[in-house]
Amino acid sequence: MITKMKKYTFLVMTSAYDRFLQELQSTGVVHITLKSEGMADDETLQQSLSRIDEINRILRQGAPDQLLQEKAEVEAKIATTRKEAERVAVWGNFSSKRLEELKNAGYELFFYSCPKTAFQEEWGVKIAEQGSTAYFVSVGSPVSDEQCIEQNIGTKSASELNTDLEALNGLLVAADARIQAWWQQNEQPLREELKKAEAAVDWQRVTLSTDHTAEGRLSLLEGFCPVEQCGELNAKLDSMACYYVAEDPQADDKTPIKLRNNKFTKLFEPLTGMYGWPDYGEFDPTPVLGPFFLLFFALCIGDAGYGLILILLGYLIHKDKLKIDMFSGLGPIIMALGVGSTVVGYLMGGFFGIDLFAATWMPDWAKVCMFKNLGDPADGYKIMGYDVMMVLALVIGIVHICLAMTIKAVCYTKRFGFKQTVSVWGWLTLILGGLITAVLAMTNVLSQEATKIVLIVIAAVSALGIYIFNTPGRNPLINIGAGLWDTYNMATGIMGDVLSYIRLYALGLAGGMLGMAFNQLGTMVLGEQPNVGTWIGFILIVTFGHVLNLLMACLGAFVHPLRLTFVEYFKNSGYEGTGKLYKPFKKA
């Protein structure tokens, strides 16, 4: 839900304005309406913003650029030295000084490589062979054969280079130690400086957003406050030397939004923010997004065993027993997704690639609630020849889209009035009314004659809204043309939107089949007479396979439900997501 706001206009004597801002900042409940004019030209503000960017970059990196550059240089030297050691290792442990002495004595050495099958003993002494290549040394004179490639063995042997590597690794350890020591000493001061810098930027933006009237003697400022905190703010303002007006926000005001959701729904607010926060006049999509995203994710995972692993991982992350930077703070939502995946995975009959519904050791009472029971046993537990999960995915898609259209009709009516949303209600009546009538007819609640009458009424009412009254006051012929174009878009769009939900079935099916395949591979390795070796092979294959399958399933289970929400649901619900979050002006 979106918290109700009050718009405040403050009028203060400029001589007392700084004191007023300090008091306002101490309340920490007013979101100031900021202006864009003059922000980019203010040198002090830009310097503060640059410092904030620099601090954030250092905090992300974990160290300043200088220390990171020193470490990168050592790592580059290690990579170069290791590569060089691998290259010259074929020549054994030679002494560059001894080679120079031989050259001065008239015994210059030439180093070559050639195909192993082409080597001739008169060319020189073969030193080593690697694969299909032979390495040899010619004494006194070079070899002119085109199959021979002269080699540069450098100035150090592999053993000498490995000694250098040990020293470089020591330097790398020292560089890491310097970075860690710097981080322990500077992290907290940097975070405190960041808070102060952000507070300073807020102050600068507020002062730049202030209008001055009466030849600069009065300062005018606008802001917003949540309704439940207006009493506290009013009491503070009444004790200050200022004039203020509190009123309801208008449609053209840039009213910030503050979401108010329960603990479960709040978990999914970051997903709403990924698309865009709702406008003040819009409907907060999070209460609908949360349960459906959880359901979609669980259907894509489709395995109760994987759900249990997600619960464990989420718990360990939440308790800081498992530290993964990219999942920091996401332990609760991972646990919630794991619970959903466990329940839905069980209903789908999947457990680490095992089909529980087909398992003979699974008691019949434990299979009663599984989705496959919705199908006809005589038809292979299918519904009209189609897999139960595919039909279920399409039904969920229809419900999701119908819910989106209902929300759109209600919210648009609230924002723009019924006259401006007649067409929206016409389409909702046609689609939702037609579906409900079809279900009632199929379940014999409505007779054939009653069904015809209801459908005729629905069609007539919908046609009036879609083709005649879609834009009140406009030429009816233009309305009819617009309605026909809208019909084409709806017919092609709705069908494609519904079919998009088949991905829920496809991903769950693919994950289950891949898990089953790894189980079969492990069983094949185990054999009929298992021993220690085959058991190790079985465990390695099954563990690697299911970890890989879980990672791929989680990726698909995140991306595709998000796509169904951002495209199919938001499009049909008319959600724009152009709002701005409530950010009160407060002290650091």
441 shares its domain with 550:
no
Are 496 and 512 members of one domain? no
Same domain? For 268 and 374 the reply is yes
Q: What is the DSSP letter of 250?
A: P
Q: Is 451 a domain residue? A: yes
- Asked if the structure places residue 22 within a domain, the reply is no
Q: What was the pLDDT predicted at 489?
A: 75
pLDDT: is 423 or 311 the higher one?
A: 311
User: Is there a domain that residue 219 lies in?
Assistant: no
Residues 411 and 550 in one domain: no
Average pLDDT over every residue of 306-330: 87
- Assign 583 a pLDDT band (cuts: 50, 70, 90): very high
Examine the domain organization and report whether 273 and 377 are in the same domain: yes
| Closest by CA position to 348, among listed 380, 282, 301, 310 | 301
Which of 137, 152, 167 terminates a domain? The answer is 152
| Distances in whole angstroms, Cα of residue 91 to Cα of each of 120, 165, 280 | 18, 18, 74
Choose one of 449, 469, 500: the last residue of a domain. Answer: 500
pLDDT of residue 38: 67
Q: Note the pLDDT tens digit of each residue in 286-306.
A: 999 999 999 999 999 989 999
Average pLDDT over residues 79-102: 85
Domain total of the chain: 3
Give CB contacts under 8 A, 24+ apart, made by 283-289. Answer: 283/2, 283/407, 283/410, 283/411, 283/573, 283/575, 284/1, 284/2, 284/257, 284/259, 285/569, 285/570, 285/573, 285/575, 286/259, 286/261, 287/1, 287/261, 288/403, 288/407, 288/569, 289/565, 289/569
What is the C-alpha to C-alpha distance for residues 243 and 9, in angstroms, rounded to an integer?
A: 8
**Are 377 and 420 contained in the same domain?**
no
- As a whole number, mean pLDDT of residues 122-127 equals 90
Q: Is 90 exceeded by the pLDDT of residue 443?
A: no
Q: Output 168 or 91, whichever has higher pLDDT.
A: 168
Do residues 426 and 445 share a domain?
A: yes
- For residue 223, being part of any structural domain is answered with no
Residues 420 and 493 placed together within one structural domain of the fold: yes
Q: Is the pLDDT reported for residue 193 higher than 80?
A: yes
Q: Per the domain annotation, does 161 fall within a domain? A: no
Position 469 pLDDT exceeds 80: no
Q: Say if 1 falls within a structural domain.
A: no
Dihedrals φ, ψ of 131, to 5°? 60, -125
Q: Are residues 449 and 486 in the same domain?
A: yes
The yes-or-no verdict on residue 87 having pLDDT over 90 is no
Q: What is the mean pLDDT of the chain?
A: 88
Choose the most confident range, by mean pLDDT, from 209-213, 312-316, 583-587: 312-316
Say yes or no to pLDDT of 266 above 80: yes
Question: Strand, helix or coil at 387?
Answer: strand
pLDDT at 164: 92
Domain range for 127 is 95-152
Same-domain status, 302 and 397: no
Q: Strand, helix or coil at 559?
A: helix
Query: Would 67 be classed as within a structural domain?
Result: no
- Boundary of a domain, candidates 483, 500, 517: 500
Mean pLDDT computed over 192-215: 86
Among 423-437, 502-516, 529-543, the least confident range: 423-437
* Residue 270 lies inside a defined structural domain of this protein: yes
Q: Looking at the predicted structure, is the pLDDT value of residue 424 above 90?
A: no
- The predicted pLDDT at position 45 comes to 85
- Strand 149-150, strand 133-139: pairing: unpaired
Percent of the chain with pLDDT over 90: 36
Mean pLDDT throughout 406-420? 83
Q: Please indicate, yes or no, whether residues 398 and 372 belong to a single structural domain of this protein.
A: no
- Residues facing 134 on adjacent strands: 114, 129
**Whether residues 286 and 361 fall in one domain:** yes
pLDDT of residue 564: 92
Q: What residues have CB less than 8 Å from 325, skipping those under 6 apart?
A: none
pTM of this prediction?
A: 0.77
